[in-house]
Structure 1
Amino acid sequence: MFKATVDPSSIAERFLAVLRAAVSSDPAQLSLLVPDQGYPSTFLKLTHNLAPPGKSFDRLEIRSAADNNPLALQPENRKVINATLKLMVTLAVPEVGVTEVALHGILCAINLDKDWIEVSVDGTSHHISGLAEAFDDVIGPVVNRRVTVRVRLGPAQVSRFDDIELDE
């Protein structure tokens, strides 16, 4: 798999550099470290899920064995990442007739093979498709729990998935 010996400390340092860039308020930092345009939003979403929501705990420190400067993830980092993700979507070409909506309810059904989830909001089920970039290890653990799902509501009231977050 690897052509040369890989130094574990360099992997850890690169991982921490990506996390630091993800929680910075400058999206260009992450783009410099992750030049493939398909991945920055993925790293942002994964880092968002690492940052504590603040209800069960409010600080997560990550450090490498050789690093004297740990990265502390806090609830404020989630807000910064949300703003960065929103900026990335805003900078993309806007879709005509599409509205962004946040649904607060229970994630009651999931089918990653068929690319959809269902969220029950006040007894009404909402079918949401387009999970292409969603990870089963992010969505799976929140089944039957309160979540906030951000969707794009398009023509004919079709809901397309943007993001999901556990409500704690």
Structure 2
Amino acid sequence: MEKLSSQQIAQLRRHLILNGSDESLLSELVDHMACEVEYYMWIGLPFETAIDKAMLEANSDAVGTLQETYREALSLKQETMAEASLDDIVFETRNKAYGAYYLRQNYGNSLRDALLGGAGFFLMLIGLISGLNQGKWSYMSLSGAMWLVGISCVAYGGFSWFIQNMKQKYMVVND
């Protein structure tokens, strides 16, 4: 694939500035437009035709609409918009759109439930093996206490996981 020269990239940058692009999104938009022009050149168009086609797509209405959409999606002020990268903007909006943002809110609870379940199962196993080695079983012994603590951890982790799944199953996301 043919790469654009610095003069050609400067031409793309000037076009975006003339169409009202913010400095905050300018580098990302130039990169995107450069990829578009390189693609058109790769399929056989001359540079002039490729850049004209890309510039038709990036007119002032399209650039303005793109920036306004990103600002609204993130509820960003102009100063905050300058600090956010295009990745932040795109992925924040996309993740909220299909629910990943809300799923990530529960990662801490899921991790806690998994650790409690694993540690509880381990304690139950050690308590059971210790009780079988002694030849007798008593809940008042060390092995019985390990069994009780283990079963409590597994029960709490399992119940918490079940409640969390029910909340997620019936959760309605309003954006």
Establish whether TM, by shorter chain, passes 0.5: no
Q: Which has the higher strand share?
A: 1
- In the superposition, the TM-score normalised over structure 1's length comes to 0.23
Per the normalisation by structure 2, the TM-score is 0.22
Give 1 or 2: higher helix fraction: 2
> Which entry has the higher C-alpha Rg, 1 or 2?
2
